[in-house]
């Protein structure tokens, strides 16, 4: 929240559809609207993201992020938010009356998600600026007429985000030799024990961010590279784990890889609807070779430790169907020991898919995931760490002589 700026018009966009956010970015860079903000006495227009819309533009444009799902009400209490615009999903029902208390303009934009107490400015995909320009003008109007005291917590965290599956290629293989080979090599030689996607929501039934942060710390300590989407990565960014120097918290093997490449041990890939990017990365690992014939063979897992959104279940199921062990926390919507529950938690794996798991505490989740990864490493025959032998010229010449003799 330290990215809010009292001297500027502050606009927050929250939801899931990047087109609203893209259009607002265009509006806040319009010289006419910037002039209007200046006339109102503002030093500029400050745009921030929240939840998954925010995670998307954080990755694509480096727009600062003001907090995950559990912060969406709290941010209004700063009094500094001149306007909040939302589209669909993860919009707390109390936002409209809360915004009213602070004089913050609150807009819904999607015809499927209107809210009592909110002003609706419909977003037309063919004329997007009609909606976003109006939102920006309304925000400038509120800036001029601010009536509440402003208290901005002065906390900012730096993070490196935007590791798409395409970028991982370049990060590991270099500009000219883009490849997943270094990742697979380091999994095979044991420096990286496995890869886990820690993704999704923050849940009001548990202490904010606690399960995400403790789980990720335990995983990286055990040499597991973590990839992230959604609100989870904001929890880890606040905890300082999305920076390269966080590699000091990783086990020796993962730390060595992170330091060599200059990457954090926790990689943010985008919003919660970008979990498909993680699956594409898994498919690339299989295609690169050395780690089995399908995603189900890889030493990987997925976990949504604080899921709450119904779509998390749909995402979890396609991850399981793709062959990945997937652990959920807080609650699970099936009844233990029923035929259906047993199919999800056991039967699917026997059919060659992944399977579901459930645990509440971060250390339990980490233990289950590490056991699974070790089981997969055992099956691949890469359980023991194998040191890479560095060859000098004499070793190479000896090899060439041997090959020629054969
Ligand atoms: S990660 Fe979950 S809580 Fe966060 S925006 Fe996405 S669906 Fe909502």
Per DSSP, the residues of 36-99 read HHHHTT-S-EEEEEEHHHHHHHHHHH---B---GGGTTGGGGGS--SEEEE-SS---TTHHHHH
Structure-block tokens of residue 266: 């926790």
| pLDDT score at 344 | 97
Q: What is the pLDDT of residues 201-220, one digit of tens each?
A: 999 999 999 999 999 999 99
Q: What is the pLDDT of residues 295-341, one digit of tens each?
A: 999 999 999 999 999 899 999 999 999 999 999 999 999 999 999 99
The neighbour count for residue 157, using CB atoms within 10 Å, is: 16
Please state, in angstroms and rounded to a whole number, the distance separating the CA atoms of residues 215 and 275.
19
Using the predicted structure, report yes or no on whether residue 233 has a pLDDT greater than 80.
yes
Closest to 122 measured CA to CA, from 47, 46, 23, 205:
23
| pLDDT score at 19 | 94
Using the predicted structure, report yes or no on whether residue 187 has a pLDDT greater than 90.
yes
CA of 325 relative to ligand 1 center, distance in Å: 21
For tokens 């707390």, the residue is 92
| pLDDT score at 174 | 73
Confidence of residue 31 (pLDDT cuts 50, 70, 90): very high
CB 242 within 8 A of CB 235: no
**Collapsing DSSP states into helix, strand and coil, what is residue 103?**
coil
Task: Tell me, using a 6 A CB cutoff, whether residue 55 lines ligand 1.
Answer: no
| pLDDT score at 386 | 53
| Beta-bridge mates of residue 106 | 84
Confidence of residue 1 (pLDDT cuts 50, 70, 90): very high
Residues listed for the chain: 406
Task: Tell me, using a 6 A CB cutoff, whether residue 265 lines ligand 1.
Answer: no
Long-range contacts from 28-31, C-beta under 8 angstroms, 24+ separation: 28/136, 30/133, 30/136
The structural domains of the chain, ordered by start, are 9-144 (3.40.50.2030), 165-380 (3.40.50.2030)
- Per cent of the chain over pLDDT 90 is 85
Helix (H) or strand (E) holding 342: helix 339-342
Using the predicted structure, report yes or no on whether residue 267 has a pLDDT greater than 60.
yes
CB 4 within 8 A of CB 84: no
Q: What is the pLDDT of residues 100-110, one digit of tens each?
A: 999 999 999 99
Q: What is the pLDDT of residues 108-140, one digit of tens each?
A: 999 999 999 999 999 999 999 999 999 999 999
| Beta-bridge mates of residue 195 | 225, 300
Our CA angle for 167, 170, 173, nearest 5°, is: 140
Please provide the DSSP assignment of 121-187 as one string: -PPPTTSHHHHHHHHHHHHHHHHHT--S------------B---HHHHHHHHH-SSS--SHHHHHHH
Closest to 335 measured CA to CA, from 325, 323, 345, 349:
345
CA of 15 relative to ligand 1 center, distance in Å: 8
Task: Tell me, using a 6 A CB cutoff, whether residue 282 lines ligand 1.
Answer: no
Helix (H) or strand (E) holding 280: helix 275-288
Closest ligand 1 atom number to CA of residue 229:
1
| pLDDT score at 171 | 79
Structure-block tokens of residue 66: 């003001």
Confidence of residue 7 (pLDDT cuts 50, 70, 90): very high
CB 58 within 8 A of CB 83: no
Closest to 195 measured CA to CA, from 12, 369, 381:
369
Structure-block tokens of residue 180: 């997943």
Mutation to probe ligand 1, out of 56, 272, 302, 303 (largest number of atoms < 8 A from CB):
272
| pLDDT score at 384 | 76
CB 194 within 8 A of CB 281: no
How large is the average pLDDT for residues 363-389? 88
**Collapsing DSSP states into helix, strand and coil, what is residue 190?**
coil
Residue identifier of the C-alpha nearest atom 2 of ligand 1: 201
Distances (CA, A) of 361 to 35, 124, 365: 52, 44, 6
Mutation to probe ligand 1, out of 14, 90, 312 (largest number of atoms < 8 A from CB):
90
How large is the average pLDDT for residues 19-27? 96
């Amino acid at each position: 929240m330290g990215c809010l700026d009292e001297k500027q018009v502050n606009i927050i966009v929250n939801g899931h559809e990047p087109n609203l956010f893209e259009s607002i970015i265009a509006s806040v860079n319009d010289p006419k609207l910037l002039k209007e903000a200046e006339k109102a006495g503002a030093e500029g227009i400050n745009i921030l993201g929240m939840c998954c819309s925010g995670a998307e533009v954080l990755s694509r444009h480096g727009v600062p992020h003001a907090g995950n799902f559990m912060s969406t009400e709290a941010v209004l209490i700063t009094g500094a938010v001149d306007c909040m615009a939302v589209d669909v999903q993860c919009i707390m029902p109390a936002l409209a009356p809360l915004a009213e208390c602070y004089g913050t303009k609150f807009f819904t934009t999607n015809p499927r998600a209107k809210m009592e107490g909110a002003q609706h400015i419909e977003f037309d995909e063919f004329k997007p600026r009609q909606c976003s320009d109006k939102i920006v003008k309304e925000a400038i109007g509120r800036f001029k007429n601010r009536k509440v005291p402003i208290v901005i917590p002065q906390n900012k965290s730096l993070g490196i985000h935007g590791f798409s599956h395409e970028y991982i290629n370049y990060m590991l293989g270099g500009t000219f030799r883009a490849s997943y080979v270094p990742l697979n090599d380091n999994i095979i030689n044991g420096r990286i024990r496995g890869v886990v996607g820690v993704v999704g929501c923050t849940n009001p039934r548990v202490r904010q961010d606690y399960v995400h942060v403790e789980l990720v710390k335990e995983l990286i300590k055990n040499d597991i590279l973590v990839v992230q989407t959604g609100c989870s990565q904001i929890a880890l960014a606040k905890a300082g784990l999305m920076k390269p120097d966080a590699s000091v918290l990783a086990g020796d093997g993962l730390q060595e890889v992170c330091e060599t490449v200059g990457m954090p041990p926790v990689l943010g890939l985008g919003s919660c609807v970008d979990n498909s990017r993680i699956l594409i990365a898994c498919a690339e690992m299989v295609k690169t070779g050395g780690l089995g014939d399908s995603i189900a063979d890889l030493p990987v897992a997925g976990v949504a430790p604080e899921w709450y959104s119904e779509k998390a279940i749909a995402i979890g199921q396609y991850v399981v169907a793709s062959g990945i062990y997937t652990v959920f926390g807080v609650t699970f919507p099936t009844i233990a020991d029923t035929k259906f529950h047993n199919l999800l938690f056991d039967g699917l794996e026997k059919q060659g898919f992944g399977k579901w798991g459930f645990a509440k505490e971060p250390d339990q989740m980490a233990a289950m995931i590490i056991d699974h990864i070790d089981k997969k490493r055992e099956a691949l025959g890469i359980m023991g760490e194998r040191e890479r032998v560095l060859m000098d010229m004499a070793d190479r010449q000896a090899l060439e002589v041997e090959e020629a003799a054969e």
